[in-house]
Structure 1
Amino acid sequence: MKRAVIAVAGVLLLGVGVLLLVLPGPGLLLVLAGLVVLASEFPALERYVDPVRSRAMKAAEDSVSSPLRIAGSVTAGLLLITAGLVWGFVRSLPLSGWSTGSSLILSGLVLLGLLAWSHRRVRARRTTSRTSP
């Protein structure tokens, strides 16, 4: 039973991550999360975790590589949250309702959270590299 629950959770994360590769949201990080969950029960998948992890971390670091990218990412996150609120309240829009609105809001919050995490990670790495001999 435990293995089935883990498999379903991993496939769900992986599937949502693949969808978010083309939709707004942190697709690569959810693909990574899905692979990590699945690899915990299916060791044959572990060989895919490291390549995806390195690409996901590179993408996270690239997102905060310049002030312009940070501003663009913050703007995108705020626009996603605003769009979610609009889709939740305005019933005349296509696919309107809180199911669409909440997913947009969640995507915006996750984007802003990951942006803050990436910025802190890059800043800490820069500080460490400056202080080490």
Structure 2
Amino acid sequence: MKGAARRVAIEVGGWALVLVGIAALVLPGPGLLLIFAGVAVLSQQYEWAEKRLDPIKYRALKGAAESVETWVRIVFSSLVAVGLLVCGVIWIWSPEVPDWWSFRDSWWLPGGVATGITQIASGLFAFVLLGWSYRKFHGKPEAVAELEREIDEADEEFKQLRD
């Protein structure tokens, strides 16, 4: 029974991370990192996931490098993280429904404290990722060039596996 429970946990956890990662590609969040984490979990069970792990990992790292290429991107990412923190505090504080709110009252700040905690956690996670990306890639063209070489190698290996 333990084996079946582990298999279900890997399936559910891996696919949940992939789906949240796909959503985070268009919403604020580390989409490629979440997809990578989901595929890494699924690679414990599936050979197809293991084969795709390196190309996804390197694309996620490339996204991290690009996020700190310019000060405009760094400032924008920081503002988004601050926005998440502020929204989380507002959700937890849960002020009364304002007069200008034209929808049903139940639609005001849905999810309550749990949503607020998630937003604060996302904001803190965004700052940690931004700091890590800055230290690893900002002003270091050799690190970005090395990453691009690794992406090319991973793509070539993946093509050979498909052929």
Match of 1:20 in 2: 24
Write the letter of the residue equivalent to 1:115. L
SS in structure 2 of the partner of residue 4 of structure 1: helix
Write the letter of the residue equivalent to 1:48. R
Task: Identify the range of structure 1 (6-15 vs 33-42) with the bigger mean alpha-carbon deviation.
Answer: 6-15
1:57 aligns with 2:61: yes
SS in structure 1 of the partner of residue 78 of structure 2: helix
Match of 1:83 in 2: 87
- Structure 2 unaligned segments of length 5 or more: list them: 98-107, 145-163
Q: How many residues align?
A: 129
Output the CA distance in 2 between the equivalents of 1:122 and 1:6.
Answer: 32
Output the CA distance in 1 between the equivalents of 2:57 and 2:12.
Answer: 21
Output the CA distance in 1 between the equivalents of 2:143 and 2:17.
Answer: 33
Displaced runs of 4+ in structure 1, greater than 6 A?
A: none
Match of 2:132 in 1: 117
Match of 2:123 in 1: 108
Match of 1:74 in 2: 78
Change in CA separation of 1:100 and 1:39 when aligned onto 2, cut-off 3 Å: same
Residue 26 of structure 1 contacts residue 107 of structure 1 at CA under 8 Å; is this kept in 2? no
Residue 18 of structure 1 contacts residue 31 of structure 1 at CA under 8 Å; is this kept in 2? yes
Structure that is richer in helix per residue: 1
Q: CA deviation at 1:126?
A: 5.0
- Structure 1 unaligned segments of length 5 or more: list them: none
Output the CA distance in 1 between the equivalents of 2:62 and 2:12.
Answer: 28
Residue 88 of structure 2 contacts residue 118 of structure 2 at CA under 8 Å; is this kept in 1? yes
**Identical pairs, percent:** 37
TM-score (norm 2): 0.70
Q: Which has the larger radius of gyration?
A: 2
Match of 1:40 in 2: 44
Of structures 1 and 2, the one with the larger relative CO (CA 8 A, separation 6+) is: 2
Write the letter of the residue equivalent to 2:55. P
